[in-house]
Structure 1
């Protein structure tokens, strides 16, 4: 089999932060796939706007659910599993027919990305190559204007979807923090930060490296929910010369 499936990391959102290899693959591959929410154009597609070949064949993989069903509901995994099975069947057919195919991945493909679910299903069936990228959290701490870690600081990445107790434990044990998947979990995240004694150091970054980027102290934000591209940081204060 000569064709290959590429999971191409696009980086945090600024096209200038894409790797040379990612740029080359997007510009020279005719079959392009990407994830998006139903009814939306898709952030990944927007990042590479003007780069894709004019005759590119587009395969938009539209999530059947996002927040409509709670994560704890058994139907959530059932619906998504069926969705990924359909996507992998389509992508496998393209590659087996001899067509290189690029899957556009926001951020890095192996960092909390949907491409992971395609990769685990396809890696033993067809050739798959992953192209790494700058993560959204790296762009966020760069936008904050301060290093996220010093010396021996322990950095933890935690999801706002965790229970409040789990969040509090992780936040208490870490020296530096990246909090993702916040959205409507913001009040819970605020309480956990306060319980961990880190609320006064928390920084909020929205749309890091993208149009509309905002950076502020979390304490100065009075919102009850946050847009998808939002990250909360707590910078480490560890050893330095």
Structure 2
């Protein structure tokens, strides 16, 4: 008999925000895989600290590259493609031996997550079940204490890695806005928001639903770099009764 791969969404960081199903799979999983940067424990693994069974066999999948090479460099894709292929081979071997594998996924597995690269390589050959979860952006806008959308508001999600003109054009058209992957792109995101006339309504949320969560109007934020777990939110102002 073949096993099943479970892509388990852990939510934004607080273990209490995991679904009942995710909690059960994490606590009972024999083979538990998770992504991490070399030399780091990995955020997904940190979320489930103290939850794994005593006999769980961990499989840390360490990225060969993160920010050391520009994403436009062909070598970047080559290294990551080979990395995902190795991880897929290891997981497939476990499944062929009849073992289930739980893959820990930060946020939701199908929302800008590394698991998607495994999923597309696995789904035609083995049984894969995806367990959805609360996204980091949901935790971010909830942390502001204000609804993100009203009535017919259009919500737009952007990556801070995009060119400033692309950002500003999309921001101008959006009613409600979420910007992810900010990091060292904060000055560019700030400039694009200003050009779109939305800087005064923008909030920067760091470490949403985690220890050390902060919620700050973006206009009050100094510095040009923000932590990896940072999201900018602009609330919609649409129709309401």
TM-score, normalization by structure 2: 0.99
**1:130 CA drift (Å):** 0.2
Match of 2:156, SS state, is: strand
Matches of 2:81 and 2:167, distance apart in 1: 27
Matches within 5 A, 1:12-91: 12-91=12-91
Matches of 1:198 and 1:75, distance apart in 2: 37
Matches of 1:199 and 1:65, distance apart in 2: 33
Match of 1:46, SS state, is: helix
**1:169 CA drift (Å):** 1.1
Contact 2:158–2:167 (CA<8 Å) still a contact in 1?
yes
Q: Please list every run of at least 4 consecutive aligned residues from structure 1 whose deviation after the TM superposition is greater than 4 angstroms.
A: none
TM-score, normalization by structure 1: 0.99
Match of 1:233, SS state, is: strand
Match of 1:117, SS state, is: helix
Q: Aligned residues, how many? A: 241
Q: Partner of 1:125 in structure 2?
A: 125
Q: Partner of 1:135 in structure 2?
A: 135
Match of 2:7, SS state, is: strand
**1:72 CA drift (Å):** 1.1
Match of 1:156, SS state, is: strand
Matches within 5 A, 1:1-20: 1-20=1-20
Match of 1:44, SS state, is: helix
Matches of 1:159 and 1:37, distance apart in 2: 21
Matches of 2:240 and 2:64, distance apart in 1: 48
Deviations 1:195-233 (CA, angstroms, capped at 9, x unpaired): 100011000100001000000100111021010100000
Task: Give structure 2 stretches of 5+ with no counterpart.
Answer: none
Deviations 1:33-67 (CA, angstroms, capped at 9, x unpaired): 00001110011111111110111111000111111
Task: Give structure 1 stretches of 5+ with no counterpart.
Answer: none
Q: Partner of 1:211 in structure 2?
A: 211
Give the root-mean-square deviation of aligned CA atoms: 0.6
Q: Partner of 1:190 in structure 2?
A: 190
Deviations 1:163-199 (CA, angstroms, capped at 9, x unpaired): 1111111101100100000001111111100110001
Matches of 2:155 and 2:34, distance apart in 1: 30
Q: Partner of 1:112 in structure 2?
A: 112
